Structure 1
Amino acid sequence: MDALESSLLNGQWDSKLHTDLESRPAIAMLAKDVIDGKFREVLTSPWARAFFRASGLQDKSYEESFSWQLPSVTDETEKEFIQVILAVASLHAFIQANWTGPDLDIKPSEVIVDVMNPTLISNEVLDMKAVTELAYGGEPAYHLAQHATFLRLAQLIFALPYHHCISVCWWRLRTTIIHEQLLDEAVPLPTDAHDLLGSLLQTLTGDTGDRDLAGRLQLEQGRLEHIFCHDKVASDRFVQAARATGLQYELTGALGRRTKFQQNDLSQLVLLAESRKRDDSPAEAVPDDLADQSRTPVNVSNMTDSNLPVTLELNDDTLLEQTIFTSSAPSSTTSQLSHLDPVSQPPLHPLDQCILLSLCLNVRNMSPSHGLTSEQMLPYVARVISHPKNWSVHTMALLLRSRLESARTRTVERSVLQLQALVDQMPTADSPLPERLLYFHSIPLPSKWEMERELALRFLTLGVVKSALEIFERLEMWEEVVKCWQSMERTDKAVVIVRDLLKGRKEEAESVILRGKDLPSPQRGKLDSARQAKLWCLLGDLEPDNAVEHYERAWALSKETSGRAMRSLGGYYFARGEFEKVIPCLQRAVKINPLLSRSWFILGCAYIRLENWEGARDSFSRCVSIDDEDGESWNNLASMYLRLDSFQNISESDVNGEDQPSKAQSFSNRTLAFRALKQGLKYSYDNWRMWTNYMIVAVDVGELSEACRALARIVEERSAKTGAECVDEEVLERLVNAVTRVPAGFSQSAGDDDRRRDDVNNPNEGHGLSRRVLDLFDRTILPRVSSPRIFRAYARLLTWQSRWEDALKAYLDWYRCSMAGTFEKGETDVEKWREAVNEVEDVMDVLRNFGPRVQGINWRHQGRSIVRTFMGRSKDFEDEAEWSRLIELQSELRTEE
């Protein structure tokens, strides 16, 4: 890669570029101005004046208006370099205006020259046109984004053909990430959009490549996957980025204290991390003040560096500002990090800090929703906050800490105040712009409006609705405004706001619609169609009686590009049970934006109601591919495989005239159902219904070990409420059958060793299953519930093990719970009595078989007692023929004695 391209990507001027200053000084100085944040000088340079000449911008799109000519440059390589430099300047100018601050000192009207209209078009019209063109995939772009023209210009320049600058594909990736953050919802990209990144990464990871650049690229690719909720792919990218930069890290434990009154040291989570040693350079060298602090704990709250964001103190009467580690050695770690002291770790390179923050995001994405998630994330954030080295990176770390602390009572106050401080610092010039942009593309820093929106949502969680409402109205986020009024049960007020917007009586009408009066009316309609479509959808949500009309109007107004309109209409029909109408609406919606799992889920449910099992299967498959933590979708997907299994069996039977289905196909569907449920249970561990489905399917496919585990979970979850009903006794008996059908002992005949090995190792049969089934009885079922069938199944298992005394006890427990053992005087049901007589005979057979094998038990006396007690309770049935059988039992027991 050319050194000039590398410097632009890094955001740092390479000292090796002195040759470029001699050979092509004008281009090199232009690039240096971009790196230094002097966008006004770059975008008003003679090359920019020539390049940004438009023709008929009022009536044409941006793409049609520019010819992108540099008549004074004949060398194609130099021309491409200049194009890239101007595009980077435009992109970073947009980022400065909307992300990093401080306020931008140049406007689009100072850059663009329309040769057909020497009188410059206003900045408002230019930005409005750009916002309209930035709408993509049916999702509108945020209409109050400042100077959106610069982003649109960067998009178009990077879209030009390039043959010499290999870094263009990377800049396209960066532009795409910014564009995605501008849209209301993430929208998928063309599959070939970033194919060139693979070859570029190979170049960077080669023997002569730049390790830090390779790490940056993989980190940014992971960021894009994170936006699309592809968590596993993002995780792999972040780990690869750490390997590329040489970052070593490990989450472990060390003794320490977290509260002021804690007397005993307890194990605390700590992240050990160390950057690789880099060549000393002005940009990478550790500052002297930080180097002095590298072996001592840093209290960031007391730092007074004016170039860093304000870090607020906790000021809590119980919690310490930060964990104080009292051990100089971690509890367990790898050999590479064993030399690190948890009390005083060395500062990390800012790029490695970016990777840790991304890995921290990955902890949130890849973990179930429980308390351990925040506890795992805090050490990542604390490791970055402990040694602040860059404005943007430190801002992101403080933002993540604020999010983590928002759910805890003792930290929620600092959480809100810290977020407010981060919002307030954006327009200030407390740090130089190049520093703010240096690692911007490597962190998921939200835009100004997103950060303010987050603050407003935080206010809502605290019940400060009025302050939240003021922020939403200032940001013109009307959907959130409507939700605020609905939360206050003022739907009428919300309706008035939306209707005023549509009629041009509110501020957005002035900023979006009225400003377009200078343009012909067709163009004006095009500019605000996406926003108007969304407003009509909001009105449809607020007025259910006219919802269909409003949603269809939004669909027509957007020229059939509004996914929101079709999602809302499909949801409306679904709520009213009109499932035939749901499917075409949601099919259009997912075609426009296939990344929204909720649309796929409702579509799948509609298919289920219409018994279209294949359509439902495909829909739920898309749900879990988008969000693999959606346990409900995994459960529904498994159900669809089972439905397809039954449907295919019936179809094949009809076609072939046979009763036997295709066993291979049937087993395949059931196996897929089993795997789907197994995956879904990772994220719905407490859902007993899913465990029940899993148990039944596991038995069906022969995974009896998993069926045993599932039955245990069901009993744990439901025994307190439903008692013995929570035990599927048929499944329990099948588990016992699977164990007992294998001989308990083995002969020494030939081939017996192989059979014994299989019986011991097979977890679904015989000895391999016996321990799990015994644990199921001893640890889970019997301490909680009991029933005759449970005790009888338990007794059979003990008999197989030749545990005669325990087996006899289990059979006697069965009898006590059985109909005979609970028979009461005054019972008049003769059929019930006859069944009880059979049970008395059964228990007598058990006593005869097991009694002689158990020492110290008078089984005959116990048998006589059982028969005598039963006969005493059922004297009303002395005239029945079966009464003689009881007399016989008494006689036999006396004779045997």
Structure 2
Amino acid sequence: MAFNDILPEVEWALLEGQWGKSLASSATEFPNVSAISIARDVVEGKFYDVLTSPVAKGLFVISDCVVVNDADLAENLLRDTLQPRLLNKDLSVTDETENELIRLALGATCLRAFVQINWTGPDFPLDPSALLGLSSSSNASGNSESEKTLDDTLNRFAIAELAYGGEPAYHLAKSAVFLRIAQILFSYPYRHCQSYPWWNLRATLIHQHLLDDPVPLPLTFYASLDPLESALKGKPDLLGRFLLERGLVHHLFAQDKIAAEYFVRAARATELKYELSGALGKRTKFQVSDLTQLVLLAESRKREDDESTTEAKDGQEAAPSVDTKLPETLALNDDTLLEQTEFTSSSAAPGTLKEDLSHLDPASQPALHPLDQCILLSLCLNVRNTSPKHGLTSEQMSPYVARVISHPKNWSVHTMALLLRSRLEASRTRTVERSTLQLQALIDQMPTSDSTVTERLLYFDAIAIPSKWELEHELGMRFLSIGVVRSAMEIFERLEMWEEVVQCWQSLERPDKGIAIVKDLLEGKKEESEAVVQRNKAVVERSGQRVKLDIAREAKLWCLLGDLEPQSAEEHYKRAWEVSKKTSGRATRSLGGYYFTQHAYAESIVYLRQAVEIHPLLARTWFLLGCACVREERWDEARDAFTRCVSLDEEDGESWNNLASVYLHMPAAKPAANGDSDEEDAAETQEPSSNIASVPFANKMLAFRALKQGLKFSYENWRMWSNYMIVTMDVGELSEACRALGRVIEMRSEKDGAGSVDIEVLERLVGAVTRSEFSASNGDSTKNVNPNEGQALARRVADLFNRTILPRVSTSARIFRAHAQLLVWQRRWSNALEAHLNAYRCSVASDQKVETDLARWQEAVVEVEELVEVMRNLGARIEAGDGQDGPGIGGGDKGEGEESEGEGELRPKRKRTSWQFQARSIVRTFMGRTKASFEEEPEWEKLSVLVEELRAAQ
């Protein structure tokens, strides 16, 4: 067997963290290959032994090529000295494949050491200065304090190099040199080791967690991962782990749909079966009757030679290995709620399962493989991301977490499950105490040695477990949310998270304190951590110079000061931009937002353009840029900006609406581009072009599609429905216009009454129906295929009247006349006449002012004459029995308003009265009301003649 034959198996063992029996057997054939022994030590967690081995020393030790002086330690030491050495230094081995595997294993070791120090604990016994073989020039006697100062200096330079995309790395991260070394080693030009992109993925994800905000990755990064998927075919657990880790990257960037796809694919790869269902059970101690409770049924596939898949028997939990001490699971100890749901049913609700899980007992499910537990926790994260913030989200997430907690198998996985449960319980009165105490317990366990390093790191990459400082920050925010401000401030001050410290002072109504802190930091009057104090003292004593903040952090502080001092905001933001050497995304976003609020839109566009170039994944910045371009009427740029918004966040209804508005302002349709200052006026919804008739039809269709997509996510936004209604009318989508008008009326009628009805749209809809040929047939026919014309549209318009408009609006004459026009087309003469009578009751003729106002009286006379003419035409048809005298197409059992009381009223369901009598009654009643004021007017004679004609016709 050649070494190249065993190489893939060694690589997979490094990634999986397990040295299988078959690999152990194969490795015995290569007793003299140091790469294999190093790889095995990495898998077994012997990181110190690996990094102090002769091979590692030959690669890492740089004391032979650099003289270190504490006073002027070169800031480019890592980049100009270490990086070329790691990439070009010849190792003691001559085989190229073995050389690559050693570099890959050493990079994995450095990455694991960094994670152990900053994430999982316990402390790591090797300092970066010792790894590099460096010693202080003033430390010939072995002064540990000087060595500590040297490590702090190296760490500071590494942190500065880890700043990326204008975002600073967390400055209190420890031993950042290890991460830099790992990044350098993973950038080596590998030809034989195919797993290096996966290790680069892990290093990149860790690096992103160090940054204040995630910074987008180049497309080449994702492309480099694609070949691995095909290489892992036939290895279900490795493929599942790979897909899961890829999903976690997209989860970090809030690309929820992509992340969800990867999580589901990971579950399919490992053949995990899972499904949410319901089963009878109890959640409180005093609950008498069983109610349906949400439960997650899940089952791992059978794995050979793997103790972690051993099923629990007789309802007992499968115990973890004897060497594992799991994090403490705090009890709830509530006087009402049970510790966990007690299921009384031995099966899920009938007919609710799609997977073959009906044999599982909700109260006694088998233990899951830890990798499957990781997948469930990731799916739980996706529920949080893709669901709104309400109670249903917690109810959906809880079964996922409970399923994992019920069978603890791994230290890190159980820690993550407890953390998720703590987050879920933070908003409930009965569980908030345990939530906070559990979070504190998880923080306290990190530095302990209650479990092995390999146990903690085994599934670390497959879960979204936060770093130590992120956990403490979360605890501080938890304290702040419940009003324990002083305790929160102590945590933030220890973590040197000054934005949060300022927030605490603002909560205490002392913003001046926050401003003073930021100014002291910028002026060097306020030292930060104890390590920084000691380092600066030592440097000042030897060189007389104070160590400055790295430029990314200094720029961030200037931006924070600009937020706190609005009167000097422009000056501070520009100072941040210059200090960062024009690399700070935060500074450009702040300047762009500042100029936008000052209505200086041209200047705002300049800085927002730079902001999206630095950080193109912030949808809010693209949105603000789009709004600024709209104000400047730069339609092409606005279109591109809003297109990027919806490509980053498909559920951004406002951006879809504004994109539609932009299309309606553009002179011609063009292909769309690939798709921190939050001011109220920037978020306003743009209205469609007022001159929509002159817009090219192609642009109107683009606007129609954009609004249709946006309404999926802004269903309750009546302005968007109104815009959609206008656009759909113009592009001929009359059925959609009918639906849009109905939604606007439903949302606005209670407040605006008849004003909620766009009467012009309504009349155009009725006109579109009545222009087509009427057919009394209600059956399926070719005439009903197109929903925007003929009988198909008639049904929708009739339903709009009967179900939406008339039950809510009864004071508009134009609405009743439009309804009457539809009823006439349907040949429902009685109902049409009733609609005209209702219109008359809402018209000028029924107004009290008609009795004293001559102009209104003259207008009312015309309405009376028109009503009589309508009654003459319709009454004759009713008496002749012409056409359809019933519900008709789209109608109900009776017309709207048939049972109302009023003058001259027709009652179709009762014995009909002659139309002549009713018409004469209406005219005489009107004349009687207005006789005293207008008997001498010329129009009075017309009314008298009309009464005589009606009497004669009876």
Q: TM-score when scaled to structure 1? A: 0.91
- CA 1:30–1:502 in structure 2 vs 1: closer, same or farther (change >3 Å)? same
Structure 1: distance between partners of 2:823 and 2:515: 71
418, 434, 440: which one pairs with 1:420?
A: 440
Is structure 2 residue 757 aligned with structure 1 residue 745? no
Q: Once the 2 structures are TM-superposed, how far is the Cα of residue 152 of structure 1 from its aligned partner?
A: 0.7
Is structure 2 residue 904 aligned with structure 1 residue 879? no
- CA 1:551–1:21 in structure 2 vs 1: closer, same or farther (change >3 Å)? farther
- Which is further off, 213-222 or 115-124? 115-124
Structure 1: distance between partners of 2:787 and 2:394: 37
Partner of 1:655: none
701, 704, 707: which one pairs with 1:671?
A: 701
Per-residue CA deviation, residues 15-59 of structure 1 (Å, 9 max, x unaligned), is: 112221341464333222222222111111111111102243732
- CA 1:799–1:746 in structure 2 vs 1: closer, same or farther (change >3 Å)? closer
Q: Once the 2 structures are TM-superposed, how far is the Cα of residue 537 of structure 1 from its aligned partner?
A: 1.4
Q: Once the 2 structures are TM-superposed, how far is the Cα of residue 299 of structure 1 from its aligned partner?
A: 13
Contact 1:44 1:110 in 2 (8 A): no
Q: Once the 2 structures are TM-superposed, how far is the Cα of residue 94 of structure 1 from its aligned partner?
A: 0.7
212, 226, 231: which one pairs with 2:251?
A: 226
Partner of 1:837: 861
Q: Once the 2 structures are TM-superposed, how far is the Cα of residue 524 of structure 1 from its aligned partner?
A: 8.2
Is structure 2 residue 847 aligned with structure 1 residue 826? no
Is structure 2 residue 78 aligned with structure 1 residue 62? yes
Q: Which amino acid aligns with 2:934?
A: F
173, 180, 199: which one pairs with 1:171?
A: 199
Partner of 1:21: 28
Structure 1: distance between partners of 2:796 and 2:424: 40
Partner of 1:654: none
Contact 1:132 1:526 in 2 (8 A): no
Partner of 1:361: 381
> What SS does the corresponding residue of 1:337 show, helix, strand or coil?
coil
Is structure 2 residue 781 aligned with structure 1 residue 769? no
- CA 1:596–1:734 in structure 2 vs 1: closer, same or farther (change >3 Å)? same
Is structure 2 residue 325 aligned with structure 1 residue 307? yes
Partner of 1:656: none
Q: Once the 2 structures are TM-superposed, how far is the Cα of residue 214 of structure 1 from its aligned partner?
A: 0.8
User: Where do 5+ consecutive residues of structure 1 fail to align?
Assistant: 649-660
Map residues 525-540 of structure 1 onto 2, 5 A cutoff: 528-540=550-562
- CA 1:386–1:773 in structure 2 vs 1: closer, same or farther (change >3 Å)? farther
Contact 2:327 2:415 in 1 (8 A): yes
Partner of 1:329: 348
Structure 1: distance between partners of 2:51 and 2:237: 29
Partner of 1:866: 922
> What SS does the corresponding residue of 1:189 show, helix, strand or coil?
coil
Partner of 2:152: 124
Q: Once the 2 structures are TM-superposed, how far is the Cα of residue 367 of structure 1 from its aligned partner?
A: 2.8
Q: Once the 2 structures are TM-superposed, how far is the Cα of residue 70 of structure 1 from its aligned partner?
A: 4.4
Per-residue CA deviation, residues 197-218 of structure 1 (Å, 9 max, x unaligned), is: 111111112xxx3111111111
Per-residue CA deviation, residues 458-514 of structure 1 (Å, 9 max, x unaligned), is: 111111111111111110001111122122221211111111112223232775587
180, 191, 215: which one pairs with 2:219?
A: 191
- Which is further off, 115-124 or 256-265? 115-124
> What SS does the corresponding residue of 2:845 show, helix, strand or coil?
coil
In the TM superposition, structure 1's runs of 4+ consecutive aligned residues that sit over 6 Å from their partners are 115-121, 303-306, 519-527, 661-665
Partner of 1:154: 182
Contact 2:657 2:706 in 1 (8 A): yes
Is structure 2 residue 285 aligned with structure 1 residue 269? no
Contact 2:626 2:641 in 1 (8 A): yes
Structure 1: distance between partners of 2:553 and 2:772: 70
Q: Which amino acid aligns with 1:528?
A: D
Structure 1: distance between partners of 2:439 and 2:699: 50
- CA 1:21–1:129 in structure 2 vs 1: closer, same or farther (change >3 Å)? farther
Q: Once the 2 structures are TM-superposed, how far is the Cα of residue 739 of structure 1 from its aligned partner?
A: 3.1
- CA 1:271–1:769 in structure 2 vs 1: closer, same or farther (change >3 Å)? farther
- What's the RMSD between the two structures over aligned residues? 2.9
Partner of 2:687: none
Structure 2: distance between partners of 1:134 and 1:681: 42
Partner of 1:657: none
Contact 1:311 1:398 in 2 (8 A): yes
Structure 2: distance between partners of 1:866 and 1:24: 113
Map residues 52-451 of structure 1 onto 2, 5 A cutoff: 52-54=60-62, 55-56=65-66, 58-59=73-74, 60-66=76-82, 67-68=85-86, 69-114=89-134, 122-205=150-233, 209-282=234-307, 284-286=308-310, 291-292=312-313, 295=315, 307-327=325-345, 328-331=347-350, 332-451=352-471
Structure 2: distance between partners of 1:224 and 1:108: 28
Structure 1: distance between partners of 2:854 and 2:323: 90
> What SS does the corresponding residue of 1:633 show, helix, strand or coil?
helix
Query: What is the number of equivalent residue pairs in this alignment?
Result: 867
- CA 1:402–1:30 in structure 2 vs 1: closer, same or farther (change >3 Å)? same
**Identity level (%):** 59
Structure 2: distance between partners of 1:444 and 1:413: 24
Structure 1: distance between partners of 2:383 and 2:447: 31
Partner of 2:50: 42
Structure 1: distance between partners of 2:181 and 2:544: 23
Partner of 1:790: 815
Structure 1: distance between partners of 2:390 and 2:419: 21
- CA 1:41–1:524 in structure 2 vs 1: closer, same or farther (change >3 Å)? farther
- CA 1:387–1:766 in structure 2 vs 1: closer, same or farther (change >3 Å)? farther
Structure 2: distance between partners of 1:602 and 1:304: 57
Per-residue CA deviation, residues 787-840 of structure 1 (Å, 9 max, x unaligned), is: 22222222333333333333333222222112223355632132x222222222
Per-residue CA deviation, residues 659-704 of structure 1 (Å, 9 max, x unaligned), is: xx99998222222222222222233222221221122222222222
> What SS does the corresponding residue of 2:851 show, helix, strand or coil?
coil
Q: Which amino acid aligns with 2:569?
A: A
- CA 1:315–1:811 in structure 2 vs 1: closer, same or farther (change >3 Å)? farther
> What SS does the corresponding residue of 2:651 show, helix, strand or coil?
coil
Partner of 2:14: 8
User: Where do 5+ consecutive residues of structure 2 fail to align?
Assistant: 1-6, 141-146, 671-690, 882-907
Structure 1: distance between partners of 2:188 and 2:695: 51
784, 787, 802: which one pairs with 2:827?
A: 802
Contact 1:251 1:272 in 2 (8 A): yes
Structure 2: distance between partners of 1:285 and 1:16: 19
Structure 1: distance between partners of 2:455 and 2:626: 49
Is structure 2 residue 805 aligned with structure 1 residue 781? yes
Q: Once the 2 structures are TM-superposed, how far is the Cα of residue 781 of structure 1 from its aligned partner?
A: 2.3
Q: Once the 2 structures are TM-superposed, how far is the Cα of residue 572 of structure 1 from its aligned partner?
A: 1.7
Structure 2: distance between partners of 1:388 and 1:395: 9
Per-residue CA deviation, residues 566-600 of structure 1 (Å, 9 max, x unaligned), is: 11122222222222221111111111111112222
Contact 1:824 1:873 in 2 (8 A): no
> What SS does the corresponding residue of 2:282 show, helix, strand or coil?
strand
41, 66, 77: which one pairs with 1:33?
A: 41
Per-residue CA deviation, residues 332-373 of structure 1 (Å, 9 max, x unaligned), is: 111523333333322221111111211222222223444433
Q: Once the 2 structures are TM-superposed, how far is the Cα of residue 734 of structure 1 from its aligned partner?
A: 2.3
Structure 2: distance between partners of 1:527 and 1:505: 12
Q: Once the 2 structures are TM-superposed, how far is the Cα of residue 195 of structure 1 from its aligned partner?
A: 1.9
Q: Which amino acid aligns with 1:588?
A: Q
Partner of 2:686: none
- CA 1:468–1:829 in structure 2 vs 1: closer, same or farther (change >3 Å)? farther
Per-residue CA deviation, residues 597-654 of structure 1 (Å, 9 max, x unaligned), is: 2222222222122121222221122222222222222222221111215899xxxxxx
- CA 1:801–1:188 in structure 2 vs 1: closer, same or farther (change >3 Å)? same
Partner of 2:563: 541
Partner of 1:491: 511
- CA 1:253–1:672 in structure 2 vs 1: closer, same or farther (change >3 Å)? farther
Contact 1:128 1:512 in 2 (8 A): no
- CA 1:101–1:510 in structure 2 vs 1: closer, same or farther (change >3 Å)? closer
- CA 1:746–1:285 in structure 2 vs 1: closer, same or farther (change >3 Å)? closer
Contact 1:21 1:29 in 2 (8 A): no
